[in-house]
Amino acid sequence: MSPTKEDYLKILFELGGRTEQVPNKEIANRLSISPPTVTEMMNSLVKAGWVVYTPYKGSKLTQEGTDYAKKLIRKHRLWEVFLVKHLGFNINEVHPEAELLEHSTSAELADRLEAYLEFPEYCPHGGAISTELMEEQEVSTVHLTEAVLGEPVRISRIVDEDKLLQYFENHDLRIGDRVTVTGRDSGLDLLTLNHGTTDKEIQISQTIAQYLFVEHI
């Protein structure tokens, strides 16, 4: 498996390809490549048994594809923990580094690293590391966009993609922060929040708010 193919599997997983058909365009957008390239790659991933692909509809991961993706995500997140906890990297710097390291990590190395880090449960962006916690996180967490108006919640996870991390950092939204959704305007795609710590009002895009997960307090 090439790093390229591995990244396709990971993106597929992150876009819900474990349970739903993911359209080519979403993959093309996320990886910043052209749609024909995605078509080609999907055929290749089907041939290798990682993906089930329905032309014009989209792709789903097979069980093997799902397992492979989970292993990659675990490696990615373990490196992020190491980089932050031991090497003193800033939370917003580690994602691109882990995006590379994940492809150069044997199962043996991942296991030893995990033990060295004393079996951390979450990456610095709130993503679960163990398979069990990953499953649990899928069902238990709520998108910020689904939070009840007026009810305070705590930010538990940020989908880690360089530009997203930048966006939320710019709006002073970080893992662990308490926020309360005070308003929603679907027409304008706006979400208004009250930040629990600073008591300031924050406005963010509803579309982008989908990449923030929260839990009830």
Partner DNA sequence: TTTTAAATTTAGGGTAACCTAAATAACAAC
Partner DNA sequence: GTTGTTATTTAGGTTACCCTAAATTTAAAA
Binding site for DNA (CB under 7 A): 2, 4-5, 23-25, 28, 32-42, 44, 53, 55-58
> With respect to Mn ion, which residue has the nearer C-beta, 58 or 126?
126
Handedness of CA 13, 5, 70, 68 (dihedral sign): positive
> With respect to a second copy, which residue has the nearer C-beta, 113 or 134?
113
Judged by CB under 8 A, does residue 119 bind a second copy? Answer: no
Residues 6+ apart with CB under 8 A from 170: none
- The partner in contact with residue 166, picked from Mn ion, DNA, a second copy, none with C-beta cut-offs of 5 to 8 angstroms by kind, is none
Alpha-carbon radius of gyration of the chain:
18
| Near a second copy by CB under 8 A: residue from 25, 47, 57, 86 | 86
CA distances from 83 to 61, 96, 132, 185 (A): 30, 11, 23, 39
- The partner in contact with residue 106, picked from a second copy, Mn ion, DNA, none with C-beta cut-offs of 5 to 8 angstroms by kind, is a second copy
**Cα(7)–Cα(61) distance, integer angstroms:** 13
Q: How many CA atoms lie within 13 A of 35 on its CB side?
A: 8
Q: Residue numbers of the site for a second copy (CB under 8 A)? A: 83, 86-89, 93, 97, 100-101, 103-104, 106, 108-109, 112-113, 116
